Chains A and B, each alone.
Chain A
Amino acid sequence: MPQNLDPATPSLANAAICSIAASLIPEPKNIAFIEADVKVITANESETFEKFRNINLGINRTEIDIKFELEMSSQKKKNFQIEAFKHRVVVDPKYAEKTWKILEHAIHEIYNHNASGLSFEELYRNAYNMVLHKFGEKLYTGLVSTMTSHLKEIALSIEASQGALFLEELERKWTEHNKALQMIRDILMYMDRTFIPSTHKTPVHELGLNLWRDNIVHTIKIQTRLRDRLLELVQRERSGEVIDRGLMRNVIKMLMDLGSSVYQEDFEKPFLRLSADFYRGESQLFIESCDCGDYLKKAEKRLNEEIERVSHYLDAKSEVKITNVVEKEMIESQMTRLVHMENSGLVNMLMNDKYDDLGRMYNLFRRVPNGLSLIRDVMTSHIRETGKQLVTDPERLKDPVDFVQRLLDEKDKNDKIIHLAFNNDKMFQNALNSSFEHFINLNVRSPEFISLFVDDKLRKGLKGVSEEDVETVLDKVMMLFRYLQEKDVFEKYYKQHLAKRLLSNKSVSEDAERSLILKLKTECGYQFTSKLEGMFTDIKTSDDTMQGFYAAMGQELGDSPSLAVHILTTGSWPTQLTTTCNLPPEILTVCDKFKTYYLGTHNGRRLTWQTNMGSADIKATFNKGQKHELNVSTYQMCVLMLFNNGDGLSYTEIEQATEIPTLELKRCLQSLACVKGKNVLRKEPMGKDIGEDDTFFFNDKFASKFYKVKIGTVVAQKESEPEKQETRQRVEEDRKPQIEAAIVRIMKARRVLDHNNIVAEVTKQLQSRFLPNPVVIKKRIESLIEREFLERDKDDRKLYRYLA
């Protein structure tokens, strides 16, 4: 743009400038550029630019004047220059004083609400001129003293206000002051823009605020009164009164406008102090008079009130601070006492499923450090304690199904609490899991009981239950299973129970059986379930074999008793001591035929009869021609068949004829002769127990409503003490090779390892199945040393080396 000012076309100069200026209006950013390049001229020409200036006021335009010195005389000597700017000396020595008087008067008028008669443009120009003529300092100091004197007056009127009117007066004056300040700033805008930045003085608006602060808010008579008044109102509101929140907001806003430090020093700090005292006192009061639930309700209410208060009339930054105060005084300082409160504390809430109270406690306690861990710890110890009572209560041990059901109920209960009250917090879920793991394993019979529970469910409990519900039950069982440390013990029992189910064909649903095995497989891997699956396969192939047998030998067999053989792979099934008994001749013939058939089709196999695991259906005719089908065990069948050939058999005779092991024989005679409604035999002398001298007769008078009579053996469903010992021992024996295998695996990889690390590694490797005892591990290590798989290092006796 400067190139437009071509000296050869001077006549266009003015027009050019005007057009520049006009074009500048929408593009204010260019102004600085022009100002820098175009030089400014005399003051007396300024009038001609009056209009122009007015236009530009809005965009902070300063004067643009140009002077051209034209050399008109000669065409050849085109020599021109721009002269340096010259100040016009102010002639009137009282100029400054006069101008200031005008301005001072205007300020007075503004404060007196008489501003309507003032010419803004004139005042602006005056102020502008004063600055321009180097009277900025005078103008500024004048402003300060005038404003100060006005504020002092205002202060007096505020001080004079009575009681409740004090804040209102303050608020009113503050609003007025703000308005006045706004006008004054507009008038003095030029000073604000040029004089103040160059002299590093406080801008007018800020100055106004500072003066207000120093002359009003921080005067002795107002400062404390203001603070006390504010705090008093807060307290009143806390005690339930309705206060003028708008007024509060405006006054607080004033403090904030005066700077964050003013807000903090004059209000926030004392406010927090007061609140801390207040809540300290209140928490004391509540804790003495309320129970835990009520206290929490009150604390929650207080907390919400404070948050609400902040949103209504405090600085948003205060929220954290005041909530901290409430949290600290109302929750943190009392939380231990709250949690342990007798009859209403955490334990009580847990016991009575007080979801609301628990949720409240969770939400409040999570706000303070260690709050949640306190809840967690108390909850953990509570669950452990109740769990321990549950699993060690001798009463509970009598009914394994009920025992497990109670465990499940306990788990459900706590799950629900965590879900409803504790936001499904992982921390609590973990605590719950570890607690269950802790106490379930306190009872060594837990694995057995869980297996019995499954057995019960799969035998009858799940009859007529929908598939999904079956899955739910099984999933719950799996969850308990996961807590078990001795998973191999569970496996052992599970195998036993499964075997019984399969052989007596008692399982409700094969799908459910398979589903559970699948779950176990996903949980523990293929090895864990391979034998269980083998058992299913055996049952299936047995069915096929029996079909084959009857197809091939059917005619030969005639009307001899029908036979169903289950061929069980040794190793897959729970090991049983083979105690064969003497089968009745009728049965023996069929059995032998089958044996021949089977061994003929399968080379190199051996068959042993497991008479202790079989069952039989016998048709019997009683005195009145009554016919019954008796469902009995193989042993019982052997005993009953004896009575076809004679009556009045003594115990010894029976024992000799059948060769059933004593204990088993007694059990089976007991169930044949001593159970009411099932007593197909009669015993002499009568009595509940079987003696060696007893004699047995066929009970002619036997009667039953049912055609089919199932004669169960008097079985101890739960294991008896010696059986338990035996199972335990078997488990221990089975563990040995597993531990040794783990040691060898580890040592093979590590070559050299010290004792503690081996123990740790072995434990880690095996913990998915059971928790190996360090002493046992040590013994296995010693055994391996003896068998020269390992040796001790010659120098460091704690170090073992692998001998390849």
Chain B
Amino acid sequence: MNKLGRGHRDKVHQFMTITGAGEKAALTVLKASDWHLDGAFDIFYRQPHAKSFIDVRHLEELYNKYKDPYADMIMADGISNLCTDLQVDPQDIVMLVVSWHMKAATMCEFSKQEFVGGLQSLGIDSLEKFRERIPSMRAELQDDQKFKEIYNFAFGWAKEKGQKSLALDTAIGMWQLLFEENRWPLVDHWCQFLQARHNKAISRDTWSQLLEFARSVDPTLSNYDADGAWPYLIDEFVEYLNENGIIQKGRMKEWL
């Protein structure tokens, strides 16, 4: 950076802010486009970016480091090691974001393709880079659109293979985790309600509709519409809230 002229340095900054690319990637692309920003964007977005700038061999090494000794994939132990190396709690929700980026099919598992491909598209080829990216990944949870994608991704990721619905315990765990970040005040009541009244697996529809519900219906339920085509479980939840006096006349007792 220091070797660059001031104009060039600004361009690199600008490029990085817009594309979110790393400094190295930015430099390479800018140089290739002869320091024209437009040209650089073209190049950057046209090719599956970053890929060419990542050393696949590093990724292979990284993969092999965590790979399960008995199968060609990273299993729970490997992930746990990875977490330790990343200085992240395995229970941390950021691992969900990581999995989302890797398009992982199942919880606590990364296939080689998922791991390598995922890191490649993230432009990560070393543990340090990985670690550096953790905060920005965590920040992605604050983006409504991304959160929604991650939330809906979580269903398929967390459920048992071959099952259509998500086991209740897992679902509750996921909800507590997810809504910890994207705070929904009724989440505890929701989980209590499910344990008390439902005690069955959760369907994909109910899962995805709950986020809609959490977002569009305010916690006092003042704008809840009984004819609003909510899954019956949510209708019953509302009933449960009213019955147990948790919500009274559009006011929530212990909230606020």
Which A residues have a C-beta under 8 Å from some C-beta of B?
754-756, 775, 778-779, 782, 785-786, 792, 797-798
Contact = CB atoms under 8 A, between A and B. Distances in A.
Interface stretch (B88-96, B97-105, B125-133, B200-208): B200-208
B229 A775 contact: no
Interface in B179-227: 203-206, 208-209, 212, 227
22 contacts: A754-B229, A755-B227, A755-B228, A756-B229, A775-B235, A778-B231, A778-B232, A778-B235, A779-B232, A782-B203, A782-B205, A782-B206, A782-B231, A786-B164, A786-B165, A786-B203, A792-B205, A792-B209, A797-B209, A797-B229, A798-B228, A798-B229
Q: Per DSSP, are chain A's interface residues mostly helix, strand or loop, or mixed?
A: helix
A538 B22 CA distance: 82
A786 B205 contact: yes
Contacts of A778: 229, 231-232, 235
Nearest to B203: A786
* Most-contacted residue by chain A among B205, B209, B229, B235 (CB, 10 A): B229
Contacts of A792: 205, 208-209
B205 A785 contact: yes
Contacts of B206: 782
Given A775-B235, A797-B209, A785 B229 contact: no
Contacts of A756: 227, 229
Contact of A782 (B212, B227, B228, B232): B232
Interface string B5-24: 00000000000000000000
Contacts of A786: 164-165, 203-205
Contacts of A782: 203, 205-206, 231-232
Q: Which 6 interchain pairs have the tightest Cβ spacing?
A: A755-B229, A798-B229, A785-B205, A778-B232, A786-B203, A779-B232
Given A782-B206, A786-B204, A798-B229, 17 more contacts: A754-B229, A755-B228, A755-B229, A756-B229, A778-B229, A778-B231, A778-B235, A779-B232, A782-B203, A785-B203, A786-B164, A786-B165, A786-B203, A792-B205, A792-B208, A797-B209, A797-B229
Nearest to A781: B229
A164 B229 CA distance: 84
A756 B228 CA distance: 8
A775 B165 contact: no
A392 B42 CA distance: 79
Interface of B: 164-165, 203-206, 208-209, 212, 227-229, 231-232, 235
Nearest to A784: B205
A52 B90 CA distance: 138
Contacts of A754: 229
B212 A797 contact: yes
Contacts of B232: 775, 778-779, 782
A59 to B, nearest CB: 86
Nearest to A792: B205
A632 B229 CA distance: 56
Contacts of B231: 778, 782
B34 to A, nearest CB: 43
A275 B206 CA distance: 72
Most buried by B among A754, A775, A797: A797
Nearest to B213: A797
A33 B206 CA distance: 100
A801 to B, nearest CB: 13
Contacts of B229: 754-756, 778, 797-798
B168 to A, nearest CB: 15
Contacts of B235: 775, 778
A148 B148 CA distance: 103
A779 B203 CA distance: 11
A791 to B, nearest CB: 9
B243 to A, nearest CB: 16
Nearest to A786: B203
Nearest to B225: A798
Contacts of B164: 786
A547 B217 CA distance: 72
A581 B89 CA distance: 64
A756 B230 CA distance: 11
A792 B228 CA distance: 13
Nearest to B232: A778
Nearest to B204: A786
A774 to B, nearest CB: 9
B135 to A, nearest CB: 31
A786 B227 CA distance: 20
Nearest to A777: B232
Contacts of A797: 209, 212, 229
A778 B205 CA distance: 12
Nearest to B231: A782
A755 B165 CA distance: 22
A756 B227 CA distance: 7
A51 B231 CA distance: 111
A754 B227 CA distance: 11
A754 B206 CA distance: 17
Nearest to A754: B229
Contacts of B204: 785-786
A778 B227 CA distance: 10
A763 to B, nearest CB: 13
A162 B209 CA distance: 97
Nearest to B209: A797
Nearest to A787: B164
Nearest to A759: B227
B230 to A, nearest CB: 9
A798 B230 CA distance: 8
Contacts of B228: 755, 798
A781 to B, nearest CB: 8
A479 to B, nearest CB: 34
Nearest to A790: B205
Contacts of B165: 786
A782 B232 CA distance: 8
